[in-house]
Amino acid sequence: MMGLLYQEDEIDFDLQVLTADANGKPIGTFSQLDADDAFIGSGSTIFGRTLSVESENSAVFGEINYQLSDTMNLTLGARYFESESESASANTHPFFGFQGNPIEFQNRSTEDNKATFKANLT
């Protein structure tokens, strides 16, 4: 048995938390300004965050079985993978404001790869 895997993912996430009236309707619109903070000003914004992630994964794997005798089998297998991920995130409006300007994005990237093997005699 042999196989290949390839996968790409993109995730975009924006969170905007606002004050609401008794019916659950937002009061006002989202703002990044400290002056529009619901806790320290007369605004309606409580919290905001944005996140963007791109990832790429690939792998190749295989396994073979060999019958050594009527009562003994040998199984050998291997797998190799590579993984890469990049992300950018920022608080677009932190709790209680006081973020300063401009909004600073945190950029991160990771890479990983590994080979694994198995052997089994039954």
The residue among 117 and 41 whose pLDDT is bigger is 117
What pLDDT is recorded for position 6?
98
**In contact, 20 and 27? CB cutoff 8 Å:** yes
Tokens linked to 26 = 């937002």
What pLDDT is recorded for position 60?
98
Kindly tell me the burial class for residue 45, based on how many C-beta atoms sit within 10 Å of its own C-beta (0-12, 13-18, 19 or more). Answer: buried
Percentage of the chain beyond pLDDT 70 is 88
The domain spans of the chain are 2-121
73-117 pLDDT, tens digit each: 999 999 999 999 999 998 887 766 666 655 778 899 999 999 999
Kindly tell me the burial class for residue 43, based on how many C-beta atoms sit within 10 Å of its own C-beta (0-12, 13-18, 19 or more). Answer: buried
Lowest mean pLDDT among 35-39, 65-69, 80-84, 117-121: 35-39
**In contact, 29 and 38? CB cutoff 8 Å:** no
How sure is the predictor about 34, in pLDDT bands with cuts at 50, 70 and 90? low
